[in-house]
Chain A
Amino acid sequence: AQSVAQPEDQVNVAEGNPLTVKCTYSVSGNPYLFWYVQYPNRGLQFLLKYITGDNLVKGSYGFEAEFNKSQTSFHLKKPSALVSDSALYFCAVRTPPGRDDKIIFGKGTRLHILP
């Protein structure tokens, strides 16, 4: 069965430091992987996705993610954190194409950037 795990409920990072939000996945076939961000009182916003190609994917707001097939991971990274990056981050994986075609979300990781 397809699944995605975010092992950390919360991550605290000092402003200006690099940040990493972890995600591991389990899926049959080639994975489609996504990161979304949710700011308070807002819906989810798309950050980036990996479908094929370069393992390092660049997205919105200076975020990037590295696809690692051997470790089945898709960690979200940013070289220098901003206070405005504080939000709830969701990793997601697409199920294989078919009638039940959908994406499955992780439980989310709350990112706190400390001034």
Chain B
Amino acid sequence: EAQVTQNPRYLITVTGKKLTVTCSQNMNHEYMSWYRQDPGLGLRQIYYSMNVEVTDKGDVPEGYKVSRKEKRNFPLILESPSPNQTSLYFCASRGPDYGYTFGSGTRLTVV
């Protein structure tokens, strides 16, 4: 089954403790992206990657890092999480027909 897999689904952490949210897709898509979803703000793009070793900032990149060492994986890294990064995060990959496939989401709480 074609899918985007994110882990974990839920995460509670403390301010300043580094964390990584993993994302993997099995569709051989070149393009992958991270979004955060906040009430009243919709989905905002954090980072995206057009291909392996190519990453670019989205609209809200501050406080986040990403890497794309292989096509299937696109982890999101929070080096020093802060409470304003409490949010619902989605990873997505995009196929050649411009169809996006989203992961099930990661609900992050930073206390």
A residues apposed to B, CB below 8 Å: 9, 32, 34, 36, 41-46, 49, 51, 90, 94, 99-103, 105-108
Contacts and interface: CB of A to CB of B under 8 A. Distances in A.
Interface of B: 4, 31, 33, 35, 40-45, 48, 50, 56, 58, 90, 92, 98-105
Nearest to A9: B40
A85 to B, nearest CB: 19
Ordered nearest first, which 7 A-B pairs have the shortest CB separation? A43-B102, A107-B42, A105-B43, A44-B102, A105-B42, A43-B104, A108-B42
Contacts of A49: 98-99
B42 A90 contact: yes
A32 B98 contact: yes
B2 to A, nearest CB: 12
Contacts, number: 50
B105 A102 contact: no
Given A45-B102, A49-B99, A102 B45 contact: yes
Task: Give the dominant DSSP class at B's interface.
Answer: strand
A44 B50 CA distance: 21
Task: Give the dominant DSSP class at A's interface.
Answer: loop
Nearest to B102: A43
28 contacts: A9-B40, A32-B98, A36-B102, A42-B104, A42-B105, A43-B90, A43-B102, A43-B103, A43-B104, A43-B105, A44-B43, A44-B100, A46-B100, A46-B101, A49-B98, A49-B99, A90-B43, A99-B56, A100-B56, A102-B33, A102-B45, A102-B48, A103-B98, A105-B42, A105-B43, A105-B44, A106-B42, A107-B41
A108 B101 CA distance: 18
A99 to B, nearest CB: 7
Nearest to A6: B42
Nearest to A32: B98
Contacts of B50: 99, 101
